[in-house]
């Protein structure tokens, strides 16, 4: 079974540019999450999809961030325009629905390291 | 709100035992989890405690005391490959299942030869 994959692994952009991150969850996982870790700090929640619907977007920093989940499969997170403080590692995670979601376990991807110059 | 506190870094030698503590404050509680992250890699699930006591999985054990809002991860027979960041996490109490995780800031464990 393939794990959660993310693309790109690294992205370096100039302030004001646009970047789109992609996440492919584990097949069959209804729950998809985006998290971010800024240098040395905690992993912070951004957004939660259940299938194609946004269940919780309380962690999205501002309206420069836009997340979508097409057809309940892969998800994209777009940052437009990027600011210096958006630098960090963006993780995607997925988990199965309902009773199959045991032990609070979420399956994480390797992350996209975003650097805004 | 929810918050978790853990030490920022711990150093130990190969073969030793190390304990990483975590205290939490939540309005509700659905268990304490631990994740491991090697530099540049994906956080991976290590353990979960919903009830008080010790859960053992090989060299790793995790403990929970709900009355003290406290838990710890115990790593035995440390190996160099155990050098990583370790995060404690709780699930957001607003959702019964499938909700977001709230993480501590992470403890960077360095294992020396």
Q: What is the pLDDT of residues A66-104, one digit of tens each?
A: 999 988 899 999 999 999 999 999 999 999 887 555 667
Please state, in angstroms and rounded to a whole number, the distance separating the CA atoms of residues A67 and A35: 12
Place of tokens 């951004």: A46
Q: Is A48 on the interface with B (CB under 8 A)?
A: yes
Which tokens belong to A30? 């209804």
- Asked if B97's CB is within 8 angstroms of A105's CB, the reply is no
Give the pLDDT of residue B40.
86
Please state, in angstroms and rounded to a whole number, the distance separating the CA atoms of residues A9 and A75: 15
Which tokens belong to A92? 């995607």
Question: If interface means Cβ-Cβ distance under 8 Å, which residues of chain B face chain A?
Answer: 4, 8, 30-31, 33, 35, 40-45, 48, 50, 87, 89-92, 95, 97-106
Which among A30, A45, A98 has CB closest to B101? A45
Exposed, middle or buried, A20 (CB in 10 Å: 0-12/13-18/19+)?
Answer: middle
Q: What is the pLDDT of residues B88-101, one digit of tens each?
A: 999 886 665 568 89
- Asked if B98's CB is within 8 angstroms of A31's CB, the reply is yes
């Amino acid at each position: 079974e393939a794990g959660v994959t993310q693309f790109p692994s690294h992205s370096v952009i100039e302030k004001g540019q646009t970047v789109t991150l992609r996440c492919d969850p584990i097949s069959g996982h209804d729950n998809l999450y985006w998290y971010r870790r800024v240098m040395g700090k905690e992993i912070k929640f951004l957004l939660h999809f259940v299938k194609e619907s946004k269940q919780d977007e309380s962690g999205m920093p501002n309206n420069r961030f836009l997340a979508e989940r097409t057809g309940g499969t892969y998800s994209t997170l777009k940052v437009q325009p990027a600011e210096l403080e958006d630098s960090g590692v963006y993780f995607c995670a997925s988990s199965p629905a309902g009773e199959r979601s045991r032990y609070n376990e979420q399956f994480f991807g390797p992350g996209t390291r975003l650097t805004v110059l | 709100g929810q918050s978790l506190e853990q030490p920022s870094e711990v150093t130990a030698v190969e073969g030793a035992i190390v304990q990483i503590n975590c205290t939490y404050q939540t309005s509700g509680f659905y268990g304490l989890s631990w994740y491991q992250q090697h530099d540049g890699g994906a956080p991976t699930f290590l353990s979960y405690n919903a009830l008080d006591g010790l859960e053992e999985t090989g060299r790793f054990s995790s403990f929970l005391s709900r009355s003290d809002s406290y838990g710890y991860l115990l790593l035995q027979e440390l190996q160099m490959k155990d050098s990583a960041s370790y995060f404690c996490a709780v699930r957001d109490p607003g959702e019964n299942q499938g909700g977001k995780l709230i993480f501590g800031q992470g403890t960077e464990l360095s294992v020396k030869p």
